[in-house]
Amino acid sequence: MADIFEKYQETLPEKILTEIKGATKSLKTESIKKILEQVHQDYEKAKVEIGDTVGIAAAHSMGEPGTQMSMRTFHYAGIAELSLSTGLPRIIELVDVRKTPETPAMWIYTEFPKDKQKTIELAAKLEEVTAEQIADIVEDFANKKIEIIIHEDKIKGITTIEDTLKAIEKSIRKKANKIEANMAIFEPKTVSLRALRKYTNKIKETKIYGIPGIKKAAVVEKNNEYVIQTEGTNLKPVLEFQGVDHKRTISNNPKEVEEVLGIEAARSVLLNELKMVLDTQNFKVNIRHLMLLADLMTQDGTIKAIGRTGISGEKESVFARAAFEETRNHILNAAIKGTKDKLQGVTENIIVGQPIPVGTGTVKLKMTHNKK
């Protein structure tokens, strides 16, 4: 059996051979040979020929669906309050590598995927809660004081009134002048009503518990397990949180993933997000086109945008840069510096009117025919 597969070890990827081995255990040798031969033929046909315009094909495969995408917002089933941007706006976000997406989100997997109650409790601990959400904050301009009434039912047993007040005192750097049960009074040493309002705003924004940036956390059922979907992201502290499965938890922000988990993880997120947007809109784009784009954006070890401050603006060719944006500036700067353009790409050769280095344009051989 091993000899049958040995023949294809250099021509077929190990992953494909492993899958065939697992699926053909009960088959006869002749049947396995036929399957391997057919897979080998299909694999060879699927290979890219030298000189193929893979970049143009990928650009067309993504650009054509992009022109048809609507600008609507897609809502996950069962979670009306948590929405994700999709369609063309989301693709623009991804290729621009925006630091903060319009709708940042996370999918947090837990160490107890089948326990709904524990997952709900964990979601409550992760969600960022400020003083404004759990207390009534009243300004008394006449007496220049701020009264805070904490609602015990809103802190959900996750924290205490004492810890809540400590967090507020730390935030405004002032001890409460009076504390009674669930009420506290602050009397800042100020004569300005404007300064009093600043104190009030700072109290309202004080984080009481949860992870900063996680605005909402909802429990959803996904593939027969309970997962927490969030509005807002903060990947690093979430991965360190007790009860979170750090191996599967992910953010939809490739830039954040790059900073926390590295460039390979960022590439995977970028690829998955692009595919998800296109699948959501029912556009079937070959995964290899998306992989080419993801590889191009991450090839230097950092994730770079497709734009004048990223890949397009860093091209070696002067003509290629000028054809994208800021034509005059690129041409003038190149003329001043005496820059040479080697005309190795597609764009620059089209501009100067000579064959492009793809297809037959890659052939460097010449044949002379002697006429008799």
Q: Which of 181, 209, 237 is the last residue of a domain?
A: 209
What are the start-end ranges of the E strands in the chain? 74-75, 83-84, 105-108, 129-130, 135-140, 145-150, 178-180, 183-186, 207-209, 216-222, 225-231, 250-251
Instruction: Give me the residue label for tokens 């620059």.
Output: 348
Residues 200, 139 within the same domain: yes
**345, part of any domain:** yes
User: What pLDDT score was predicted for residue 84?
Assistant: 61
Percent helix, strand, coil in the chain (nearest 5)?
45, 15, 40
Residues 274, 323 within the same domain: no
Residue 365's region, left for phi above 0, alpha for psi from -120 to 50, else beta, is beta
**222, part of any domain:** no
User: What pLDDT score was predicted for residue 81?
Assistant: 47
Structure tokens at 289: 């086109």
Would you give the DSSP letter of residue 165?
A: H
**pLDDT tens sequence for the chain (372 residues):** 557 888 888 889 999 999 998 898 888 889 999 999 999 999 998 888 888 888 888 988 888 887 777 544 444 444 444 556 667 888 889 999 998 898 999 999 999 999 999 999 999 999 999 999 889 999 888 888 899 999 888 887 788 888 888 899 888 888 888 888 888 888 888 768 888 888 899 999 999 989 999 999 999 998 899 999 999 999 999 999 999 999 999 999 999 999 999 999 999 999 999 999 888 888 889 999 999 999 999 999 999 998 877 888 888 889 988 888 888 998 999 999 999 999 988 889 999 999 888 888 888 777 777 766
Structure tokens at 97: 């590598």
Instruction: Report the CATH number at residue 94.
Output: 1.10.1790
User: What pLDDT score was predicted for residue 226?
Assistant: 95
What count of residues does the chain have? 372
Alpha-carbon separation of residue 153 from 179, 210, 247 (angstroms): 19, 16, 34
Q: Which amino acid is at 370?
A: N
Residues 328, 282 within the same domain: no
**116, part of any domain:** no
Residues 96, 161 within the same domain: no
**Helix or strand or coil: residue 20?**
helix
**370, part of any domain:** no
**278, part of any domain:** yes
Instruction: Give DSSP secondary structure letters for 315-369.
Output: -S-HHHHHHHS-HHHHHHHHHHHT------SHHHHHHHTS--SSGGGG-------
The boundaries of the domain holding residue 8 are: 2-46
Alpha-carbon separation of residue 236 from 28, 156, 213, 261, 353 (angstroms): 52, 25, 11, 9, 52
Structure tokens at 86: 């999709």
Q: Which of 157, 183, 209 is the last residue of a domain?
A: 209
Pick from 354, 291, 341: which is nearest to 315 by CA? 341
**233, part of any domain:** no
Q: Which of 15, 30, 46 is the last residue of a domain?
A: 46
Residues 196, 162 within the same domain: yes
Tell me if 284 sits within 8 A of 276, measured CB to CB: no
The three-point CA angle 241-243-244 to 5° equals 65
Residues 275, 341 within the same domain: no
Domain count, the chain: 4
User: What pLDDT score was predicted for residue 77?
Assistant: 43
User: What pLDDT score was predicted for residue 372?
Assistant: 61
Residues 15, 63 within the same domain: no
Instruction: Report the CATH number at residue 176.
Output: 3.90.1150
Residue 9 exposed, middle or buried by CB count within 10 Å (0-12, 13-18, 19+): exposed
